[in-house]
Amino acid sequence: MVKNAFIFLILIGVAMILVNLFAGFTGNVDLGQIANHYVANGPAEVGSANIVTAVVVTYRGFDTLGEVTILFLSAAIVGFFLKIENTDNTERNLKYTSEILNTASQVLVPIMILFGVYVFINGHLSPGGGFQGGAIIASGLVLMFIAQPKKEIGHKLINIIESISGVGFVLMGLAGVLFAGGFLDNNVIGLGKFGTLFSAGAIPIIYIFVGLKVGSELTGIALSLKENQNEA
């Protein structure tokens, strides 16, 4: 109890620091210099209608590469960590799921995957992108795991999709070095007509890779967790 009181005092200290941190906060009234550049010149330089996508994939594309790497690493570590080392040990005790979930999943899963693909292909035009699309795809697959716990999906396929899309992303980045202004420059295949599906240069391609990669990585994590499940 004394300890909790002490922690409370410390947290008051943290609160004071955070309050001080925003002591000078007045709320923006206008875009800053960099944001202004993105919004004003983004359409011309990058060709993406979604400025956030322009920032994520191109201006700060290097961050995104790191971000994908982090997910990739999490999936790899979780996969390694939770690998079932002795499979023949115990018969896993899995219950059957309800009829409703089963039926609904058969309808929903393909739609969800399709929607996920839509979201990442249109990432440069509308809200969304590779991460969101990938997450939707993974949600669909997770739904499938829940509905059909006995269904086995190999890690192998997931790994291969992951590797192909990862290598593809890096190669697109390198193409930027070789054919355009720098690593991850999207201006390698022409920007296309602003606002259409085939525009914004390499962004849709990169987002396809990201989407597939994120989808497979999240699925991989979920799969590893599922395989560790003993009672459901």
Partner 1 sequence: MVGPIYIIAISLGTAFSLGFFKKANRNISFGLMFFAMAFVTFISGQWLYAFLSHQQETIQIFTAGFKPPFSISLQMGFHEAVFLTMINVLGLLSAIYLFDHLKEKGANMMMVFMLLFMGLNVVVMTRDIFNLFVFLEISSITLVGLIILEKKQDAISSGFKYLIASGIISQILLIGIIAAYYYGGSLFINDMVDSNLLFVKGGSVAVFLILIAVVLELKPFPANGWALDVYQSATPGIGAIVSGAVATTSLFILYKLLPIGGDAWLLPIGITGVISFLGSNFLGINQKNANRILGYSSIGQVGLLMIIMSLSKDLGDKFEFVFFSILISHYLAKAGLFWISGIINKDEIGQWNIIKNKPGLIVLTGVFMLTLLGLPPFPSFYGKWELIMNLAHSGNFTWIAIILLGSFFEAIYLLRWFGKTLMNNENSEELIVKFHKIFPAVISSFLILMFSFLTARWSGLMSVKYFIPFAIALLLFALDFLPVFIKNIMAIATVSWYSYVLIYQTYIPENDILRIIFGFIFLIGAILLLFPGFTFKGKRRGFYPLVILMFSGLAGLIEARTTFQFFFAWEMMTLASYLLIIRGKNAKKTSFSYILFSMAGAFMMFIGFGLAYFETGSISLNALADVLIYANWVYILVAVGFLVKIASLGVHIWLPDSYTEADDDVTPMISSILVKSGVFGLIILMLSMSLKNAASSNIPYILGWIGALSALIGNMLAIYQEDVKKLVAYSSIGIMGYILFGLSMMSHLGWLTAISYSIVHFLYKALLFLAVAGIIYRTKTRNIYEMGGLIKRMPLSFISVLIGIITLAGMPPLVGFAGKWMFYNAVILKGWYFQGAIVFFSGIVAFLYCFKLIHNIFLGPIKDNHRKLKETSVWWLIPQFVLIIGIMIISVYPKIILEPIGLYLSMYFPGEGLVWAGTTASTSLGYWDATQIMMVFAGMFGVIFIILFLMSRKVQVVEQFNIVFQAERPERPETTHYAHNMYAPYNKALGFLAAPFITNSWEFIYESFHAIGDQIRKFYTGNGQTYALHIVMYVVAFYLFINGGF
Partner 2 sequence: MMEKLNIQNIGLTVGILVILVGLWGLLTQKNLIKIVIGFALFDTGTHILMVSIGYIKYRTAPILDEAVDIRNAAKLVVDPIPQALVLTAIVIGLGITALMLSYVLKMYQNKKSLEINNYKDLKW
Binding site for partner 1 (CB under 8 A): 7, 10-11, 13-14, 16-18, 20-25, 28, 32-34, 37-38, 45, 58-63, 65-67, 69-70, 72-74, 76-77, 79-81, 155-156, 159-160, 162-163, 166-167, 169-171, 173-174, 176-177, 180-187
- CB nearer partner 2, residue 16 or residue 104: 16
Cα atoms in the Cβ-side hemisphere of radius 13 Å centred on 226: 22
**Is 227 within 8 Å of 79 (Cβ atoms)?**
no
Query: How many other CB atoms are there within 10 angstroms of residue 119's CB atom?
Result: 23
State the minimum distance, in angstroms, from the CB of residue 68 to partner 2.
Answer: 8
Specify whether the CB–CB gap between 95 and 232 falls below 8 A: yes
Helix or strand (DSSP H, E) at 107: helix 99-121
Contact 50, 56 (CB under 8 A): no
In sequence order, what DSSP letters do the residues of 65-97 get, joined into one string? HHHHHHHHHHHHHHHHHT--S-TTSS--B-PPP
CB of 59 to partner 1, least distance (A): 5
Question: Hey, what are 201's tokens?
Answer: 């240069």
Q: Which stretch binds partner 2 (CB under 8 A): 20-28, 95-103, 147-155, 171-179?
A: 20-28
Select the binding partner of residue 30 from partner 2, partner 1, none (C-beta < 5 to 8 A, by kind).
Answer: partner 2
* Binding residue for partner 2, selected from 9, 20, 24, 28, defined by CB under 8 A: 28
Token pair belonging to 91: 């018969």
Of partner 2, partner 1, none, which one does residue 120 interact with (CB within 5 to 8 Å by kind)? none
Cα(88)–Cα(100) distance, rounded to whole angstroms? 32
For binding to partner 2 (CB under 8 A), which residues are involved?
A: 4, 7-8, 10-11, 14-15, 18-19, 22, 25, 27-32, 34-36, 38-40, 42-43, 49-52, 54-56, 59-60, 63-64, 66-67, 70-71, 73-74, 77-78, 81-82, 125-127, 129, 131, 195, 214, 221, 224-225, 228
